[in-house]
C-alpha cells in the first residue's frame, strides 16, 4: 500500500533524479543525514543534501515524508549529535518538505508521524557556518540544496 525509499549511506548524486523518474514518488523516504563534514561531502549527504535527495526522488514534488536517519544514536562525526536534526528541520521548512523525527524505535506512517523535536536543545552550526556540499554536482542538483 505504501512506497518507501531508503538512501543507504551515500553522497548526493544526479542519479537520485533517475530513481525518482523511474520509481518515485514515495510516501516515505528514509535518508541518511548525519555524520557529515565538508571533507566528507562526497561520502555522506548531510542535512541539506538529504532534503535535496528527498526532493529529487519525489520528482521535485513536496509530497511524501522525509525521515532523517543515520544521525541520532551514535556520534560518528565532528558536529554535535543534534545538529543534523536541527539543520534538516531548517532545510525542510525552507523547501516545504514534511519531515518526521521519530524517537529510536518509534513508528512512522505517511499520515501520522512525529515532527516535534524530542532531543535536548544544544548549540549547533548552520549550513552557512559549516557547509558540506558534494563536489562536481551539476547546477540543476545544486539548485535543490536549501
- Residue 145: how many CB atoms within 10 A of its CB? 21
Residue 40 near residue 132, CB atoms below 8 Å: yes
Which pLDDT score is estimated for 90?
Answer: 97
Task: Note the pLDDT of residue 72.
Answer: 79
* pLDDT at residue 136, rounded to an integer: 86
Q: Which three cell numbers stand for residue 74?
A: 551514535
Write down the pLDDT at residue 78. 87
| Cell output for 114 | 512525529
The parts of the chain modelled with pLDDT lower than 50 are none
CA angle 141, 72, 74 (to 5 degrees): 110
Amino acid at each position: 500500500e505504501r512506497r518507501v525509499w531508503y538512501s543507504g549511506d551515500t553522497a548526493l548524486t544526479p542519479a537520485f533524479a533517475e530513481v525518482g523518474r523511474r520509481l518515485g514518488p514515495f510516501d516515505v523516504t528514509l535518508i541518511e543525514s548525519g555524520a557529515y563534514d565538508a571533507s566528507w561531502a562526497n561520502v555522506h549527504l548531510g542535512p541539506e543534501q538529504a532534503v535535496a535527495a528527498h526532493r529529487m526522488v519525489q520528482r521535485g514534488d513536496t509530497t511524501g515524508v522525509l525521515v532523517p536517519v543515520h544521525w541520532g544514536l551514535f556520534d560518528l562525526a565532528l558536529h554535535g549529535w543534534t545538529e543534523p536534526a536541527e539543520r534538516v528541520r531548517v532545510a525542510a521548512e525552507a523547501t516545504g518538505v514534511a519531515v518526521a523525527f521519530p524517537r529510536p524505535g518509534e513508528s512512522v506512517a505517511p499520515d501520522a508521524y512525529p515532527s516535534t523535536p524530542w532531543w535536548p536543545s544544544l548549540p549547533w552550526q548552520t549550513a552557512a557556518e559549516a557547509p558540506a556540499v558534494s563536489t562536481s554536482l551539476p547546477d540543476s542538483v545544486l539548485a535543490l540544496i536549501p
